Amino acid sequence: MKPTLYFLRSSEQKIAIDMLHYAYRLDETDKKVQDFPQLDIYCRFYGLSSKDLGLYALGEHKIAGGAWIRLLKEDDKANGYIDEKTPILTIGVKPEFRGMGIGSAMLEQLFLEAGALFERMSVSVLDNEKSIGFFKKHGFVEVENSLEHSPIDGAKVITMVKELPKERVVRPTDGYDPRKWMD
């Protein structure tokens, strides 16, 4: 199934909050995002900064997943923090849509869009073979001595970073001249 991707706008902050639930594996517990105030930094006032960038995927006419990046500050004490020029990626896919390529599709599009604004992005991932393998497949590399613990359950997490392509994003409307629509 090929997902349909849409830009995540500030008016759709609820999607970021909902997908945060899956990004932090809260669907595997009896907890909610509201139980962890430290997660608020990943979606609070999403889209009100020009440096917030994200998208979400629709599958079978339902929201299947979301991926977004935000610039955070050292004071935020966020897992995955590198510096104030490197946004942190948050990505979540609902369980019923996992394994269908939705996460990969969102990442590939996000890399293109983010490359116009940033040199790289970081992500905090579970320190296990499956999670690390997924992000390595998409060009992320492990940051040395970055072992931390998840705010959810204390699981070991590591930081990975990806250098972003500096290609100009080409959109279907680029070069469109409305004066020549009749030609």
Give the CATH number of the domain where residue 77 resides: 3.40.630.30
Specify if 126 maps to a domain.
Answer: no
- And the tokens for 6? 């849409």
Count of domains for the chain: 1
Mean pLDDT of the chain: 90
Specify if 135 maps to a domain.
Answer: no
| pLDDT of 140 above 80 | yes
Q: What is the mean pLDDT of residues 64-88?
A: 95
Domain residues for the domain of 86 are 4-118
| pLDDT of 119 above 90 | yes
* Contacts of residue 109, Cβ cutoff 8 Å, sequence gap at least 6: 5, 55
Amino acid making up residue 101: G
Residue 181 is predicted with a pLDDT of 57
| pLDDT of 169 above 80 | no
Q: How many residues does the chain have?
A: 183
Specify if 151 maps to a domain.
Answer: no
* Residue 86 contacts residue 93 (beta carbons within 8 Å): no
Q: Name the nearest CA neighbour of 138 among 152, 150, 121.
A: 121
Q: What is the mean pLDDT of residues 92-98?
A: 95
Read off φ and ψ for residue 82, nearest 5 degrees: -110, -60
| pLDDT of 180 above 70 | no
Residue 83 is predicted with a pLDDT of 95
Residue 41 is predicted with a pLDDT of 92
At 103-112, the pLDDT tens digits run 999 999 999 9
Specify if 166 maps to a domain.
Answer: no
pTM, full prediction: 0.88
Specify if 142 maps to a domain.
Answer: no
Specify if 12 maps to a domain.
Answer: yes
> Please, what's the largest Cα pairwise distance for the chain?
63
Q: Report the alpha-carbon distance of residue 59 to residue 52 in Å, rounded.
A: 24
| pLDDT of 37 above 70 | yes
Which of the pair, 144 or 173, is modelled with greater confidence? 144
- And the tokens for 32? 């909610």
Specify if 80 maps to a domain.
Answer: yes
Res. 28 pLDDT band, cuts 50 70 90: confident
Specify if 163 maps to a domain.
Answer: no
Q: Report the alpha-carbon distance of residue 100 to residue 106 in Å, rounded.
A: 12
* Residue 1 contacts residue 100 (beta carbons within 8 Å): yes
